[in-house]
Amino acid sequence: MAAIDSYPDPYAEENRAALGVLDDFFDQVDADALFTDDDPKRLLEIREHVLSALRHLLVRGRSFLETTRGLDWPYGAPADRKAGFVSLARNSEDSSIRDAAFRFLARLPFPGQWEWLSRAEKRLADDPEFSALFEEERRKVARKIEKKRQKQFQLRHFCQILKRPRLPEEKGILRIFSLYYLFTDPGLLDEIGRDYLLYVEPATGVLYRHTWLRAFSRLPDPCLFGLGGEGDAAFLGSQPNILTTPLSHGDFLEPDETPEPDGAKRWDVIFNGTFDEMERKRHDLFLWALRQPPLAGAAALVLGRGEDGNVARFQKQVDRAGLSNRVTVKANLRRDDVYDLLPQCRVGVHLALYENGCRATYEYFRADVPCVASSCMGGMNPEIFNPMTGKAVPDGELPKAIAEVLRSLGDYRPREWFLNHSGSTHSSRELNRQLRAIFADLGYDWTEDIVPLGSSGASRYVDKAHYERFRPQFEDLLKPFRSRPHLPVASFVD
């Protein structure tokens, strides 16, 4: 068999440059040379360059990072050096060095960064560096709201009451599964947090750059974040008043929506990813894998939602790659149609740079389709890829791994694993156990379990009657949003 080509990393030059910036920075820190020249302008430039390099490596450079320093390095290297910065920020006799060390602690992803950043809000709110940062945070939230096609949302479109409050002895539990940036509006979380403990599921995980999420760390009670990725969980778990669980989104997939597979297979491989985010989903990597010798002749189905122009752009990529006779593209299908197609495929492939408990992978498992995933992907729980469900491998090994799974389909039992270990019933029960333990630690009563969680639909309730059960609580929850008419939340919940 011919050799597999090396994947032509589109970010090779940027990867090397970003790694060089970080190496230079850590070398200066280790040599006690960072603050020998305490010129504020120079140190600000260093912070900005380091943050830019981290941003690149933690997103676009993940495959390169995995094969060089390791995926944990961007968080681990600052953690190893935190004590030195803290000592300087607290004990240096030179006030300029104390100030500079403080700024590094507040800007870079050291463990507990949000606590330092919150202090900076009080001490340096008018400082050019931090006022620009806080203004950019506000602009990010505004841009996220503006980008939404839908301009008015109902509460059930982004949050779900799991347990009603019985104050003061027992708080309720509120799940936030979308539009979580709305809750950074000043004072909103304070009002909601008086009645509810929050369980938050960021759609694509949490990178260090999502510093505006620190608003959730300021509540009287801890906030629980659902984060599939180990890096995300470790970073957020180091922040004040934040707890984490690997349960999120796809873990709560309803178990009974996929028909029993009938054995008829039309495609060897299926790839499901939005055409509006092809850079993050890495459609180009999938097409590269199909062109390699181990997958010669493999027929593929590509699904996804997206604008017509982006779907057409991908079809042109397929044509240019010479794969038109092997790749079938189906866009913007109804969910039920997707479920009908999944059992007609042999192996699923998932290659996104970043996710958080991605639903598509669990849909493969439920349909009895094993999955091969990129091991550099952030935001997924690596434990779901196991001898029953599939493999997670480095990018360069994808063609070989997919071919191996195709040859040994009988060795995999993904649907059996899903029905016994995942899905709404199992995951809701486990989340209930974790939340009950948190309530016990906080000294709250627990007289009622949470209702089952789903992973789709406007309200995410598995039993629609539960939405009606909590209608009075939704009416009360709407009040703090009504007092903030600039937020795109409609004045009704039906």
Structural domains in the chain? 12-140 (no CATH), 150-252+424-482 (no CATH), 267-421 (3.40.50.2000)
- Return the percentage of the chain with pLDDT > 90, whole number: 80
pLDDT band, residue 493 (cuts 50/70/90):
low
| pLDDT of 125 | 86
pLDDT in tens, 278-328: 999 999 999 999 999 999 999 999 999 999 999 999 999 999 999 999 999
- Residue 373's H or E segment, with its range, is strand 371-374
- Confidence band for 456, pLDDT divided at 50, 70 and 90: confident
Q: Side chain identity at 188, as an amino acid letter?
A: L
Predicted local confidence at residue 212, as pLDDT: 84
The arithmetic mean of pLDDT across residues 113-130, rounded, is 93
Write phi, then psi, for 200 (nearest 5 degrees).
-115, 135
Give percent of the chain with pLDDT exceeding 70. Answer: 97
Instruction: Give how far Cα 229 sits from Cα of 234, 353, 383, 390, Å.
Output: 9, 12, 10, 18
The 3-state DSSP class for residue 196 equals: strand
What mean pLDDT do residues 385-398 have? Answer: 97
E strand or H helix at 270: strand 267-272
Residue 326 has φ and ψ, to the nearest 5°, of -120, -15
Task: For residue 249, name the pLDDT band (cuts at 50, 70, 90).
Answer: very high
Mean pLDDT across 422-442? 97
| Residues 333, 303 contacting (CB under 8 angstroms) | yes
**Reduced to 3 DSSP states, what percent helix, strand and coil does the chain have, rounded to the nearest 5?**
50, 10, 35
Distance CA 396, CA 382 (A): 18
The pTM assigned to this predicted structure is 0.93
Report yes or no: 220 and 167 within 8 Å, Cβ to Cβ: no
Distance between the two ends of the chain, CA-based, in angstroms? 60
Please enumerate in sequence order all residues whose Cβ is within 8 A of that of 196, keeping only pairs 6 or more positions apart, or say none. 161, 165, 171, 172, 173, 174
Range 378-396 average pLDDT: 95
Q: Which residues contact 228 (CB under 8 A, 6 or more apart)?
A: 205, 246, 248, 249, 250, 251, 355, 356, 357, 358, 379, 380, 381
